[in-house]
């Protein structure tokens, strides 16, 4: 088993980056903006909507958006569901239960497009493999540490399974787990933890931030607000991508989460697209939290604030209050999110068919295609 160990060289490198006036890495700071604003229309090409039919009623489509050439898979309260690219329900993949071919309600899913395989992680430490037609193929035991049983996101890339974890899970004092990579039979290949020991429950370290997104077809971007580094992760290779600036906005594991500091800012979304970075910043306050978006143009090397977070005018679809993921589909870049029918603009009703705009309607998959 290969184990990823932090080296003295990396520690010294990070230290030298912050002591140097000119860092070789882009330094991210929520306060750094020029006076100009930018509109979402500057980087969005087209917004498309796929309503999921009501053959099975579901509350949401979760955080796993698996989209193939002619089908889609979602992790829902009713199990793993397969739809056509037009939103027609096709079948369930497996079912909830305790048998070797069944999964628990807590699960994560990943897709191998080339070999048409769906990988399902199920508690405790089980990896189940189905084909795209829902046929059970195999089940393996996954090599995970005791604090690695609850991955928040799972991906397949090039023969490897990636398990990513929430930043600084609560519990006892420890070095927080960032990610684990296994082969397709669950054997661990590498893992990574925080350099620093964080405090456990009752402190900000128990916040459970979500800190991973797709970077490109082979790699991911992972961030942790208690550490200085934003990583690019590609199999056994890990690179420093960006650094968080020093300052009062930085979250400390000793912060009292119940009475948060007004200066703290939390990055709750980070998109590392071809031409830009998109970051969503939140305050720690439970009530009247302030949320805003930063847009960094990689060519201009300038940071802007978005003047409007709404994906389309006259809708409730906002990048401020919806979970969104970055993916590459059919060679193009997309932001993906789930939405309810009543969040769409009124003029979309006719184009989506006989939808009642009631809460009982199934979610809509929103595909936000980015400019080339």
* CATH number of 25-370, picked from 2.120.10, 1.20.140, 1.25.40, 1.10.20: 2.120.10
Closest by CA to 107, choosing from 29, 97, 117, 116, is 97
Q: How many CB atoms lie within 10 A of CB 316?
A: 15
Instruction: Give the pLDDT confidence score for residue 192 in this predicted structure.
Output: 93
Instruction: Give the pLDDT confidence score for residue 286 in this predicted structure.
Output: 56
Instruction: Give the pLDDT confidence score for residue 79 in this predicted structure.
Output: 92
Q: At 128, phi and psi to the nearest 5?
A: -110, 140
Q: At 103, phi and psi to the nearest 5?
A: -125, 160
Instruction: Give the pLDDT confidence score for residue 172 in this predicted structure.
Output: 53
Q: At 277, phi and psi to the nearest 5?
A: -110, 140
pTM, to two decimals: 0.87
Domain ranges of the chain: 25-370
Q: What is the mean pLDDT of each run of 10 residues along the chain (372 residues)?
A: 40 37 84 83 92 89 90 94 96 91 91 97 95 97 91 95 76 75 98 74 54 93 86 96 90 71 85 96 70 93 87 84 92 94 75 56 91 94
């Amino acid at each position: 088993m290969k184990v990823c160990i932090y080296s003295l060289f990396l520690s010294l490198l990070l230290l030298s980056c912050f002591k140097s006036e000119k860092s070789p890495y882009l330094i991210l700071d929520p306060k750094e903006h020029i006076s100009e604003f930018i509109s979402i229309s500057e980087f969005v090409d087209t917004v498309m909507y796929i309503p999921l039919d009501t053959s099975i009623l579901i509350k949401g489509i979760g955080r796993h958006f698996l989209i193939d050439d002619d089908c889609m898979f979602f992790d829902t309260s009713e199990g793993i569901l397969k739809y056509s690219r037009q939103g027609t329900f096709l079948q369930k993949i497996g079912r909830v239960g305790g048998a070797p071919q069944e999964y628990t309600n807590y699960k994560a899913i990943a897709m191998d497009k080339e070999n048409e395989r769906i990988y399902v992680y199920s508690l405790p430490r089980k990896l189940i493999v189905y084909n795209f037609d829902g046929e059970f193929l195999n089940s393996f035991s996954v090599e995970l540490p005791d604090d690695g049983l609850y991955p928040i996101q799972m991906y397949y890339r090039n023969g490897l399974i990636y398990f990513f974890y929430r930043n600084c899970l609560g519990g006892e004092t420890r070095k927080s787990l960032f990610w684990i990579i296994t082969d397709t039979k669950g054997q661990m290949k590498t893992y990574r933890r925080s350099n620093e020991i964080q405090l456990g429950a009752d402190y900000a370290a128990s916040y459970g931030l979500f800190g991973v997104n797709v970077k490109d077809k082979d790699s991911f971007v992972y961030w942790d607000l208690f550490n200085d580094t934003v990583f690019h992760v590609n199999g056994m290779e890990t690179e420093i991508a960006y650094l968080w600036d020093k300052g009062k906005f930085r979250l400390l594991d000793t912060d009292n989460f119940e009475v948060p500091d007004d200066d703290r800012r939390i990055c709750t979304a980070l998109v590392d697209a071809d031409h830009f970075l998109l970051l969503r910043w939140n305050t720690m306050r439970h009530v009247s939290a302030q949320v805003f978006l930063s847009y960094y143009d990689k060519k201009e090397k300038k940071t802007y604030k978005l003047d409007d977070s709404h994906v389309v005018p006259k809708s409730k679809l906002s990048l401020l209050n919806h979970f969104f993921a970055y993916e590459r589909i059919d060679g193009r870049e997309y932001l993906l999110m789930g939405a309810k029918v009543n969040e769409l603009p009124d003029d979309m009703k006719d184009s989506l068919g006989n939808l009642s705009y009631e809460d009982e309607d199934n979610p809509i998959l929103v595909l936000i295609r980015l400019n080339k």
